[in-house]
């Protein structure tokens, strides 16, 4: 009897559920604990940098230390997120377990000395590394099971670090192939994501709360925000800008990476040059707002993701400068991720666009927060669900409109080079349908 027919029987389905509960829950516990340690370390590093602002002048030396560490122990994991995605596409040699501690240490060092980077890349790499380690303890896993376990690791890392387990579930399935998802992994990814999120919370690690204060539709039975023709038109126009910004950011990071590798062939010197450029830009602009994560700041006048949700909380070009600082940091060899900087870029750009067109600032900051991320990663469904988990469901239609439109206008370029094209975003009538994915 074919496997799909056996799975439809109660015994087959029961074994499937039991097997993945036994695999996904321990994985989620491990990844959630790793995320808790990472977030705690990141908060401590950020607090230390704010207390000792002179640490930023050691950023070039910190970059050289990171490069030396990876040359000594991390050559096989240098590809980072792309290694995880490649291993899911075609399981082979596995992901070395040392990827998890290496990326955690390198990311914390990057933030301690002021590099502009995120945390999603670290969480995804820790999740993939720990999942691969679990797989080595279970040598009887099939290639299909191994792919699913790695996807569950990605979901756990994403859900644990952002506190969005459902978005993490969708992200793990959606990020691999543009336009196509493997739903065979949905249950394991969900269990791993929820477990990681709850484990992180159990360790006492919280997440930043965002709020859209714009008025909702009074008396609406669904309690949904009002839809008006003008507002939806403004959202579509803004989403086109968000999508084009995603495209520009991805090309900027990839382009600067190629330039830095050609201009500075010595890997240890490359982050020293990049760190020096960050310092020079900081001094020229006269602000430290674009260093580190940029989520919040004790300085009430600083531009942060949180401040972008308020009128006057961002300057017209804040989004641009955050993109420049982040592109220089990541392309020169520092570690972290792109997603939290993308949140900053999107929220600041949304703030600016809202002021230009007279739209609600907090709503447009949230839309930019989600849509720039959706365009840069080609994951509009995950980003829509992230909006629901972070901001509530009242603006679901607005979130979906912004994310889907930005996705359409961001082209087929993204921040992950290993992402594959399954279905073009715009299909032509004479174009043949995409071939089926290879079976595992």
Provide the domain limits for residue 54.
3-202
What is the model's pLDDT at position 90?
A: 85
Give 228-250 pLDDT, tens digit per residue: 889 999 999 999 999 999 999 99
Is there a domain that residue 215 lies in?
no
In a domain, 22, yes or no: yes
Query: Are residues 357 and 417 both part of a single domain?
Result: yes
Same-domain pairing of 15 and 127: yes
Average confidence (pLDDT) over 389-409: 95
Per residue in 346-382, pLDDT (tens digit) is: 999 999 999 999 999 999 999 999 999 999 999 999 9
Task: Report if residue 64 sits inside a domain.
Answer: yes
Assess whether 301 and 247 both reside in one domain.
yes
41 lies in some domain: yes
Q: Residue 276: give its domain's CATH number.
A: 1.10.3080.10
- Could you tell me if 196 and 235 lie in one domain? no
The answer to whether 33 and 161 are in contact (CB under 8 A) is no
Residue 132 lies in a domain: yes
One domain for residues 37 and 156: yes
pLDDT one-digit tens code per residue, 169-194: 999 999 999 988 888 899 999 999 99
Q: How far apart are CA 186 and CA 184, in angstroms?
A: 6
Bridge partners of 178?
Answer: 421
Per-residue pLDDT of 66-109, as tens digits, reads 999 999 998 888 888 888 998 888 887 789 999 999 999 999 99
pLDDT at 209: 81
Residue 265 and residue 138 in one domain: no
Residues 407 and 300 in one domain: yes
User: What integer is the mean pLDDT of 307-317?
Assistant: 96
Do 15 and 162 lie in a common domain? yes
Distance of CA 64 to the CA centre of its chain: 25
CB 176 within 8 A of CB 89: yes
pTM of the complete model beyond 0.85: yes
Counting the structural domains of the chain, the total is: 2
| Domain shared by 235 and 375, yes or no | yes
140 and 236 co-located in one domain: no
Q: Specify if 74 maps to a domain.
A: yes
Contact 123, 158 (CB under 8 A): yes
Same domain, 250 and 126: no
Q: Are residues 16 and 165 in the same domain?
A: yes
Q: Which residue shows structure tokens 């900087």?
A: 341
pLDDT tens-digit map of 114-154: 999 999 889 999 999 999 999 999 878 899 999 999 999 99
């Amino acid at each position: 009897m074919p496997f799909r027919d056996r799975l439809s029987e109660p015994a087959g389905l029961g074994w499937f559920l039991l097997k993945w509960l036994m695999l996904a829950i321990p994985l989620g516990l491990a990844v959630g604990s790793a995320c808790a340690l990472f977030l705690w370390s990141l908060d401590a590093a950020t607090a230390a940098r704010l207390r000792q602002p002179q640490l930023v002048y050691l950023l070039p030396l910190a970059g050289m230390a990171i490069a030396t560490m990876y040359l000594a122990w991390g050559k096989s994991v240098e590809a980072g997120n792309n290694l995880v995605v490649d291993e899911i596409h075609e399981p082979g040699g596995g992901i070395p377990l040392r990827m998890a501690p290496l990326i955690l240490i390198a990311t914390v060092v990057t933030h301690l000395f002021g590099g502009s980077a995120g945390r999603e890349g670290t969480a995804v790499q820790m999740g993939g590394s720990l999942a691969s380690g679990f797989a080595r303890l279970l040598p009887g896993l099939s290639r299909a099971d191994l792919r699913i376990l790695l996807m569950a690791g990605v979901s756990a890392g994403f859900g644990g670090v952002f506190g969005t387990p459902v978005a993490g579930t969708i992200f793990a399935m959606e990020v691999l192939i543009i336009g196509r998802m493997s739903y065979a992994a949905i249950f394991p990814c969900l269990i791993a994501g929820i477990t990681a999120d709850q484990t992180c919370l159990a360790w006492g690690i919280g997440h930043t709360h965002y709020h859209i204060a714009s008025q909702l539709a009074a008396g609406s039975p669904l309690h949904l925000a009002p839809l008006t023709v003008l507002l939806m038109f403004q959202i579509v126009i803004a989403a086109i800008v968000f999508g084009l910004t995603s495209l520009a950011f991805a090309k900027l990071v990839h382009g600067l990476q190629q330039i830095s590798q050609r201009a500075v062939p010595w890997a240890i010197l490359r982050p020293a040059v990049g760190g020096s450029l960050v310092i020079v830009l900081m001094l020229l602009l006269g602000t430290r707002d674009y260093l580190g994560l940029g989520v919040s700041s004790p300085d009430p006048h600083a531009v942060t993701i949180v401040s972008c949700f308020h009128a006057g909380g961002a300057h017209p070009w804040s989004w641009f400068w955050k993109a420049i600082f982040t592109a220089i940091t990541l392309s020169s060899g520092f570690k972290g991720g792109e997603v939290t900087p993308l949140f900053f870029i999107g929220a600041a750009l949304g703030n600016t666009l809202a002021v230009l067109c007279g739209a609600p600032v907090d709503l447009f900051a949230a839309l930019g927060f989600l849509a720039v991320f959706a365009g840069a990663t080609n994951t509009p469904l995950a980003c829509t669900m992230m909006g629901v988990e972070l901001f509530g469901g009242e603006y679901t239609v607005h979130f979906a409109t912004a994310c889907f439109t930005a996705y359409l206008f961001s082209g087929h370029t993204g921040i992950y080079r290993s992402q594959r094209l399954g279905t073009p975003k715009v299909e032509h009538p004479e174009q043949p349908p995409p071939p089926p994915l290879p079976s595992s």
